[in-house]
Structure 1
């Protein structure tokens, strides 16, 4: 161990301690308000629905706390515990070339981490989600999805990792600049390819057939000047009872997607209001702004990695005696969330401000009462708690808490 080992351990246990403390606050807040529907929702939600949301939130918090503790153990095991170093030695027996060895080390480590955390995912899906009536996937579908994700990860990830490792080995001290450009290019490529080529591997997307609703949506799109490749319905009910709607794609390949569960839950006016909210993100350039923020954070991260990759104390402080490009990438991937955890409230606050802006935009095009009705139905149907702890929400909520969001909408000037 060296000084960086101590810095890492302090940051790790500090972030874990904060998360554990926040989870306890969240549980206390939800449990403390379980037996009474908040006054603002008393006319729209039954006590039974409110209590279901509370119990669902508490059940997820229990899994979350176990997952955080287990992840801490795995992180220590793969770093200071010598897990990465052991895998490195094992793969060395295959006598692969430097790029192939490094690619195998990165992919094998990430695969093992995912495999070890898989039981918690199974428990969340087939115990927690099942208990509260949300799970609709079969175990066969679950395995099929995992297998497909693994294949895509290998087909897409292996060449990308190998290319970045080659750049690290051959592009000199400024390799990280080229690596950053490659990663940004890959990200844009995936944004283009996802709706057309990748998402259909997991779900079925069919054009919206409801002519009345489609005409209503088309009129809204024309008022906003939004052009898309089409309006599609996704069979989200194959896996879950949760509802959602989103935009995907870039440029003229943009798509509007509704979950079939959402179409079943909301009336046409409410669906129009939800779509107007999503259009607000487009008109206020939130997607572009978040892309630029992510690009900036990636730039800083790659610059930091470019420096750390040349420092022996970085490897030795994290349990890896033999420096290498692959080890540098792996260690950085594993520890970045530890040090980045304290940025969560800043990024979450930015995202919540975008939600307020999108709500205001929706209220300018549709009736705010329709969006409020839609939100209340979504909170009810998704069993979202109405009484989160303010500090927990500040760290973890990308959307404003229900009571604050609806109060803000009620103050927004009507259409």
Structure 2
């Protein structure tokens, strides 16, 4: 076994150890603080609701540990275990071509299908056992299968042209192939962001314009006051699948819209809903989507350049257990191994996301009502069984939103 192979195994072990350690910290911290509701939430959340959130968090953490073992085993099986070789040989046998674009596409498609099959048992357990146990599941087996098939079809339609372009450009191996691949990747993402709200999302959920009412008029007045023009306010039938509630801002240009889950509307008062809407507008006004796109552009540029440098590096294939050196196997290996290297950067990404959440909260406090947003957040924490006492280190790596206590404290300071 080469030094690089040993280093690769060590990298996997370190990632596994860090993630397991973080999960252990989270479980221990939540369990230690489940007997008392944090003082800041005493008036709004009962001990029963707090303990339900703790039990839900512990159950999800245990499931995450199982998922971690499965994912790590799958990575080792595909790389050093020779799995990529077996899949590639099967793809080449199917196409009758030892190399080429068609063989590469078949290989990547087969790898994606097999990875989805590996993930399926845990997805089924999470949806129909864990979520059911805590009263959140509203999905039927039929809808689960329908979603699975639709996801597969949409992924196929999206992935085939993009992968074809990237594999073709990488196969050309010109000095600027990586740059052209990056430009294609960014153009594709811009197109996807534009069409997602009106083409892809409606394949899975029903989106209806918020019906006219006095409350709707107040929300429209808020939009006008904040200078936000969009395709409209839409209500999504999230209750078909889950009792969880949320709201989000999506799209750009003429397809820009704000989406409210029907479960959220049923849980919040009109004043609280207005504060949540102001928060979503804050993301738009502070240009958070554009900033994330710029960050993604920079990261993807570096990653594609790195992939291009590894294309003709024999050690990248041989020392990671792959016998076939070509753009398709390089892309697969890179996609499987790069998350291991990027783990230390996760807190930085989450820190930026949290900064954006604080900025959107500040915008909502200025243009709506901080106290109503606090009330809305507390209601969402309670109804979604979100833990109020996450471990700080775990939160750095896993939470894109600030912990409940810090977020409420920040809003209270803005109100003062």
TM-score range, shorter chain: over 0.9
1:6 aligns to what? 6
Alpha-carbon distance, 1:413 to partner? 3.9
| Number of positions where the alignment pairs a residue of Structure 1 with one of Structure 2 | 414
1:60 aligns to what? 60
Contact map agreement 1:174 1:306 (CA 8 A) in 2: no
- SS of alignment partner, residue 235 of structure 2: strand
Aligned equivalents of 1:81, 1:289: Cα separation in 2: 40
1:293 aligns to what? 295
Structure 1: state its 5+ residue gaps: none
Residue 272 (structure 1) aligned with residue 265 (structure 2): no
1:250 aligns to what? 252
Alpha-carbon distance, 1:16 to partner? 1.1
2:357 aligns to what? 355
Aligned equivalents of 1:342, 1:210: Cα separation in 2: 48
TM value normalised by structure 2:
0.98
1:185 aligns to what? 187
Residue 321 (structure 1) aligned with residue 326 (structure 2): no
Alpha-carbon distance, 1:168 to partner? 1.3
Contact map agreement 1:243 1:382 (CA 8 A) in 2: yes
1:85-143: CA deviations, max 9, x gaps? 11111222221461000011111111101111110000000000000000000001000
Residue 147 (structure 1) aligned with residue 144 (structure 2): no
Alpha-carbon distance, 1:173 to partner? 2.8
- 134, 137, 154: which one aligns with 1:135: 137
Contact map agreement 1:34 1:54 (CA 8 A) in 2: yes
Alpha-carbon distance, 1:213 to partner? 2.0
Alpha-carbon distance, 1:6 to partner? 2.1
- SS of alignment partner, residue 45 of structure 2: coil
1:244-277: CA deviations, max 9, x gaps? 1111111121011110000000011101101111
Alpha-carbon distance, 1:216 to partner? 1.0
- SS of alignment partner, residue 93 of structure 1: helix
Alpha-carbon distance, 1:3 to partner? 2.7
Contact map agreement 1:23 1:61 (CA 8 A) in 2: yes
2:27 aligns to what? 27
Residue 170 (structure 1) aligned with residue 176 (structure 2): no
Aligned equivalents of 1:285, 1:91: Cα separation in 2: 44
TM value normalised by structure 1:
0.98
- SS of alignment partner, residue 260 of structure 2: strand
Residue 399 (structure 1) aligned with residue 376 (structure 2): no
Contact map agreement 1:2 1:316 (CA 8 A) in 2: no
1:373 aligns to what? 375
- SS of alignment partner, residue 233 of structure 1: strand
For 1:91-110, list aligned pairs within 5 A.
91-94=91-94, 95-96=96-97, 98-110=100-112
- 104, 112, 115: which one aligns with 1:113: 115
Contact map agreement 1:2 1:313 (CA 8 A) in 2: no
Contact map agreement 2:35 2:51 (CA 8 A) in 1: yes
1:219 aligns to what? 221
Residue 41 (structure 1) aligned with residue 41 (structure 2): yes
Contact map agreement 1:15 1:342 (CA 8 A) in 2: no
Structure 2: state its 5+ residue gaps: none
Which region of structure 1 is more displaced relative to structure 2, 209-218 or 252-261?
A: 209-218
- 154, 157, 160: which one aligns with 1:158: 160
1:174-195: CA deviations, max 9, x gaps? 2111111111111111111111
